[in-house]
Amino acid sequence: MKAVQYREFGTFPEVVEVPDPEPGPGQVLLKVTAAGVCHSDFAVMSHPPEETGLKLPLTLGHEGAGTVAKLGAGVTGLVLGEPVAVYGPWGCGTCTMCAQGKENYCLRAAALGIRPPGLGAPGALAEYLLVDAPRHLVPLGGLDPVRSVPLTDAGLTPYHAIKGALPRLVPGSTAVVIGAGGLGHVAIQLLRALSPARVIALDVSDEKLDLARTVGAHEVVTSDASAVARVRELTGGLGAQAVFDFVGAPPTTATATGVAGVEADVAIVGIGGGAASVGFGSIAYDASVRAPYWGSRAELIEVLDLARAGSVDVHVETYSIDEAPLAYQRLHEGKVNGRAVIVPN
């Protein structure tokens, strides 16, 4: 089968031919119907594999959807041909976090060498995907796999971050979204669906600010050195009650803490190598900063339910598997509006 692989440090992903995978005991083989391309792949590829612990070559793709193609020995409860989405942050399934469905926070995954598809295990950017356990699959129901596959990360990750801030987002409050790309443009819709907060979106690109407005941002602000002052002005000097930084690079983490108001909740979600500065005088009184990661399986089910209700719609650009390197190229250049989705079959 064809697969999109990160083969060598310092190079772009390429399309190669690899053996068709066979499901072992307990595993499920999916015929991939859609796979999302995520900016965090560049964060992974920008470090030498010795640092990330990745074994190369690696088939990329941590957002996957497919139809059940083959069941490994002992797997029950799935029907061949059934359309499913893949819950990506695989865990051990038995620790106290996994028992709560929070496999994204599995306490033993690192020790056991369990890694998500596309971030250690072979990913979804291929014609077939091997899934380690049926519990990682969520039925898609009537949802279109191409439009909904980004919800497994670009939907779930902001959903999890936003859920933790909802008590702050009362009527009259403000939420700031930094970065209106793949995750950010979904975050704006989730905030509008889940809270009465006023949403202010920040980005460096005018196209992305246009998209932010289209999907529901009340205000848009160019993300530059004057962004903090502009957000303060828009909030009567008070700052925001919740801040979501989907870039996480040094300039945006400074903006994130800079726009935070008293008792604000600041979530640094993007993995751009930045760090928030917290200490008396460097951030508003009693503001909290957290660094969430992905989301729980139950939250993925909730996000898919929101999509079914029409409350969230991902803007997608579609590519064939042979065009996957082009999708990465465009993403790298900041040219993808919304999410790039590969349709391999």
Residues that bind Zn ion (CB under 5 A): 38, 40, 91-92, 95, 98, 106, 108, 153
Measured CA angle at 43 (ends 38, 44), to 5 deg: 90
CA distances from 97 to 82, 90, 133, 148, 249 (A): 28, 12, 17, 26, 29
- Nearer to Zn ion by C-beta: 23 or 181? 181
Closest approach, Cβ 140 to Zn ion, in A, equals: 19
Minimum distance, C-beta of residue 281 to Zn ion, in the bound complex (Å): 35
Name, in order, each residue with C-beta under 8 angstroms of 250's C-beta and a sequence gap of 6 or more. 272, 273, 274, 275
| CA 34 to chain CA mean position, Å | 15
- Decide whether 62 or 208 has the Cβ nearer to Zn ion: 62
Least distance to Zn ion, CB of residue 244, Å: 15
Lookup: tokens for 296: 């729980």
Omega before 117 within 30 of 0, i.e. cis: no
Looking at the Cβ atoms of 43 and 238, the one nearer to Zn ion is 43
User: Which CB, 35 or 259, lies closer to Zn ion?
Assistant: 35
Distance CA 68, CA 80 (A): 5
Q: Are 185 and 217 in contact, with CB atoms under 8 Å apart?
A: no
CB nearer to Zn ion: pick between 75 and 114: 114
Cβ atoms within 10 Å, residue 240: 30
- CB 182, CB 154: distance < 8 Å: yes
Give the end-to-end CA distance of the chain in Å, rounded to a whole number.
10
Q: Look at residues 186, 194, 201 and name the one whose alpha carbon lies nearest to residue 170.
A: 194
Length of the chain: 345
Q: Which of residues 38 and 191 has its CB atom nearest to Zn ion in the complex?
A: 38
Output the smallest distance, CB 93 to Zn ion, in A: 6
Ranges of beta strands (E only) in the chain are 2-6, 14-17, 28-37, 58-59, 63-71, 83-86, 128-131, 137-139, 174-178, 198-203, 219-222, 240-245, 260-268, 288-290, 316-320, 339-343
Tell me whether residue 6 or residue 235 sits nearer to Zn ion (CB atom): 6
Closest distance of CB 325 from Zn ion, Å: 18
By C-beta, is 61 or 145 nearer to Zn ion? 61
- Work out how close the CB of 133 gets to Zn ion at its nearest, in angstroms, rounded to a whole number: 12
Nearest-approach distance from CB 283 to Zn ion, in angstroms: 27
3-state SS assignment for residue 188: helix
Please state the closest distance from residue 248 (CB atom) to Zn ion, in A.
12
Q: What are phi and psi of 193, to 5 degrees?
A: -75, -30
Question: In the bound complex, what is the minimum distance in angstroms from residue 186's beta carbon to Zn ion?
Answer: 12
* Closer of 93 and 325 to Zn ion (Cβ): 93
Output Rg (C-alpha) for the chain, integer angstroms. 20
